[in-house]
């Protein structure tokens, strides 16, 4: 199996359109909530301002609580978190970091031996469109979105070594970056901006490794 994150279609399986990375995972993610109508916008403007309740997946919530929140969220959208979709989301929650599609398929086959690549792709397609997960372009992997009410975080900081992802909700910073990008004559290919880096845990491991190697080098 290729190790770049793309899964081959099972022999004889129909082309559902979900196993085409260029078409499926490069399109803009749907917003989490439908746009308000003009009447709703008028009522909202005249009503007292309240901060929206934040719904977090993976930040202090148990896995079961997070899955329950995801099911309720899908129900509110008129959609269903089927057992397969739920299992893929559960695997991503278990991982705690960005995970490649082929790894998800391997995990699914440990539970359901007959799982085929399109099964995982269809589940990921749904989770992406619902705003429950992000696709991390720089490492071709997927991670759970930690905030369902603000799934368009705009800026993702990705550890290139371990796949840990931190979501930054900084609208003003993102707007400033987008303005500079457009002034330079470019248009963003995605709604999100990815920043590559090395997380604190990997920095510590790297420093410890370098420190252990120094006495050995000095002794030679």
Q: Residues at the annotated binding site for Zn(2+)? A: 159, 162, 199, 202
Q: What is the DSSP string of 66-101?
A: HHHHHHHHHHHTT----HHHHHHHHHHHHH-S-B-H
Tokens of residue 132, six digits: 């429950």
**Distance between CA atoms of 76 and 4, rounded to whole angstroms?**
35
What is the CB neighbour count within 10 angstroms for residue 146?
21
The binding site for Fe cation comprises: 153
What is the CB neighbour count within 10 angstroms for residue 123?
24
The binding site comprises: 153, 159, 162, 199, 202
| 134 beta partners | 143
| 168 beta partners | 155
**Distance between CA atoms of 218 and 215, rounded to whole angstroms?**
5
């Amino acid at each position: 199996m290729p190790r770049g994150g793309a899964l081959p279609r099972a022999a004889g399986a129909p082309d559902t359109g979900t196993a085409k990375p260029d078409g499926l995972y490069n399109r803009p993610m749907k917003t989490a909530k439908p746009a308000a109508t003009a009447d709703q916008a008028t009522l909202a403007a005249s009503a007292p301002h309240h901060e929206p309740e934040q719904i977090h997946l993976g930040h202090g919530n148990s896995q079961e609580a997070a899955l329950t929140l995801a099911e309720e969220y899908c129900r509110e959208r008129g959609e269903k978190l089927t057992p397969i979709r739920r299992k893929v989301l559960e695997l991503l929650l278990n991982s705690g970091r960005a995970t490649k599609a082929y790894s998800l398929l391997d995990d699914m086959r440990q539970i359901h031996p007959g799982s085929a690549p399109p099964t995982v792709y269809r589940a990921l397609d749904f989770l992406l469109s619902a705003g429950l997960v992000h696709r991390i372009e720089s490492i071709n992997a997927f991670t759970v979105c930690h905030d369902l009410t603000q799934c368009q975080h705009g800026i993702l900081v990705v550890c290139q070594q371990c796949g840990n992802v931190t979501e930054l909700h900084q609208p003003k910073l993102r707007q400033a970056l987008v303005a500079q990008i457009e002034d330079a004559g470019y248009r963003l290919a995605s709604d999100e901006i990815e920043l590559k880096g090395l997380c604190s845990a990997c920095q510590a491991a790297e420093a410890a490794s370098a420190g252990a190697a120094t006495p050995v080098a000095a002794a030679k």
